[in-house]
């Protein structure tokens, strides 16, 4: 395998707000970070339209614009970017190794900011119809469902926010929840339950998705769990809002994680391997905000700088 002879000071995996903030800080400290974009350059904010709560933008800012600005800022300080997906990492080694297909990059520190991805239902057709009626992002796709019937799956805060947002466009929003009580926080529940464009289907799951790649989604099958009765349910849109899974498969057996796969960190961003730091949603199942991700990216960068200084003795 072609191995770069150069040993990088810092390689950053992922380019959401955590990774890009780490790139700005380590770049500004003349560490010439290499950022490997991963599957979704810019991270989850590239799925959003307006970001209203990132400090500094009094009128809000478009998610993709915010991420493009952060990348530009990181480049100004010398960060380099590689659009590729990492295929393997060897974190115990010295130097550590990051494999991208046939290429191997060597580095003294790694900042893991690979984020989290929406959890999917695991049904046949789900990916074939993704973007053709199946969505994970109401703010991105809601606009296309003006006067249509849509379904939102989930009973948490995300599902309530997505469903409420969709009532701005859709004729009717059906919420499908597997239990008979919501997990969402009280204010979001109350707002959703009194919205007369929303209809709740309790103790119910989506058991099949129908449609084809050409024509898109045509409907779903709903299964009422207590009676096991199934019914075909025509709809124009299916929004899956059942939580997220951290993108940590690459690090199994190397980095400590909790039972859900979130990386465990101490002291802000340290992992169990010296020189490896984690920031953003990959290690945060609780706050999951752009600003908290950016803050933890800053912590990871400062810890990486200190670690590199300690190597020089």
Sign (positive or negative) of CA dihedral 156, 142, 260, 268 = negative
Q: Which is nearer to ligand NAP, 1 or 186 (CB)?
A: 186
C-alpha span between 274 and 196 (Å, rounded): 54
Residue 47: CB minimum distance to ligand NAP, A: 13
Q: Which is nearer to ligand NAP, 39 or 179 (CB)?
A: 179
Determine whether 298 is an active site residue. no
**In 3D, which of 165, 154, 191, 129 has the Cα closest to residue 48?**
165
**Annotated active-site residue in 62, 103, 128, 137:** 137
Q: Is 217 helix (H, G, I), strand (E, B) or coil?
A: strand
C-alpha span between 173 and 163 (Å, rounded): 6
Burial 85-97 (b: 16+ CB within 10 A, else e): ebeebebeeebbb
Tell whether omega for the bond before 258 is within 30 degrees of 0, i.e. cis. no
Q: Which is nearer to ligand NAP, 162 or 305 (CB)?
A: 162
Give CA angle at 201 (196, 202), nearest 5°. 125
Residue 133: CB minimum distance to ligand NAP, A: 18
**Annotated active-site residue in 103, 140, 157, 203:** 140
Q: Is 68 helix (H, G, I), strand (E, B) or coil?
A: helix
Determine whether 147 is an active site residue. no
Determine whether 235 is an active site residue. no
C-alpha span between 52 and 65 (Å, rounded): 13
Which residues lie near ligand NAP (CB under 6 A)? 119, 121, 153-159, 161, 178-179, 183, 205, 242-243, 286, 288
Residue 176: CB minimum distance to ligand NAP, A: 8
C-alpha span between 196 and 165 (Å, rounded): 13
Residue 123: CB minimum distance to ligand NAP, A: 10
Q: Is 281 helix (H, G, I), strand (E, B) or coil?
A: helix
C-alpha span between 221 and 207 (Å, rounded): 5
- Residue with smallest beta-carbon separation from ligand NAP: 156
Q: Which is nearer to ligand NAP, 121 or 300 (CB)?
A: 121
Residue 270: CB minimum distance to ligand NAP, A: 24
Residue 93: CB minimum distance to ligand NAP, A: 35
Q: Which is nearer to ligand NAP, 26 or 48 (CB)?
A: 48
CA neighbours within 13 Å on the CB side: how many for 171?
6
Q: Which is nearer to ligand NAP, 1 or 286 (CB)?
A: 286
Q: Which is nearer to ligand NAP, 183 or 197 (CB)?
A: 183
**Annotated active-site residue in 141, 236, 281, 284:** 141
Residue 278: CB minimum distance to ligand NAP, A: 18
**In 3D, which of 293, 274, 311, 247 has the Cα closest to residue 23?**
293
C-alpha span between 168 and 119 (Å, rounded): 25
Where in the sequence numbering do the catalytic residues fall?
137, 140-141
């Amino acid at each position: 395998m072609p191995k770069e002879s150069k040993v990088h000071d810092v390689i950053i995996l992922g380019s959401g707000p955590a990774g890009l903030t780490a790139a700005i800080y380590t770049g500004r400290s003349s560490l010439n970070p290499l950022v490997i974009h991963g599957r979704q350059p810019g991270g989850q904010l590239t799925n959003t339209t307006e970001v209203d709560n990132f400090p500094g933008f009094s009128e809000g800012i478009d998610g993709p614009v915010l991420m493009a600005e952060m990348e530009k800022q990181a480049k100004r300080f010398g960060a380099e970017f590689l659009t590729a997906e990492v295929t393997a990492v060897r974190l115990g080694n010295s130097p550590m190794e990051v494999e991208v297909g046939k290429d191997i990059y060597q580095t003294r520190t790694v900042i893991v900011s690979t984020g989290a991805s929406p959890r999917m239902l695991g049904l046949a057709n789900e990916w074939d119809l993704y973007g053709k009626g199946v969505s994970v992002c109401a703010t991105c796709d809601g606009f296309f469902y003006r006067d249509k019937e849509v379904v939102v799956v989930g009973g948490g805060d995300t599902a309530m926010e997505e469903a409420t947002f969709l009532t701005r466009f859709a004729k009717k929003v059906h919420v499908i929840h597997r239990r008979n009580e919501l997990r969402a926080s009280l204010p979001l529940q109350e707002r959703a339950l009194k919205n007369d464009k929303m209809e709740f289907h309790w103790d119910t799951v989506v058991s099949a998705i129908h449609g084809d790649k050409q024509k898109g989604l045509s409907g779903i099958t709903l299964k009422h769990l207590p009676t096991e009765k199934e019914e075909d349910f025509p709809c124009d849109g299916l929004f899956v809002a059942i939580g997220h899974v951290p993108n940590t498969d690459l690090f199994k057996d190397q980095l400590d994680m909790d039972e859900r796969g979130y990386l465990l960190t101490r002291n802000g961003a340290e992992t169990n391997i010296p020189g490896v730091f984690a920031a953003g949603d990959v290690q945060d199942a609780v706050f999951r905000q752009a600003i908290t991700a950016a803050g933890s990216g800053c912590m990871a960068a400062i810890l990486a700088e200190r670690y590199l200084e300690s190597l020089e003795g």
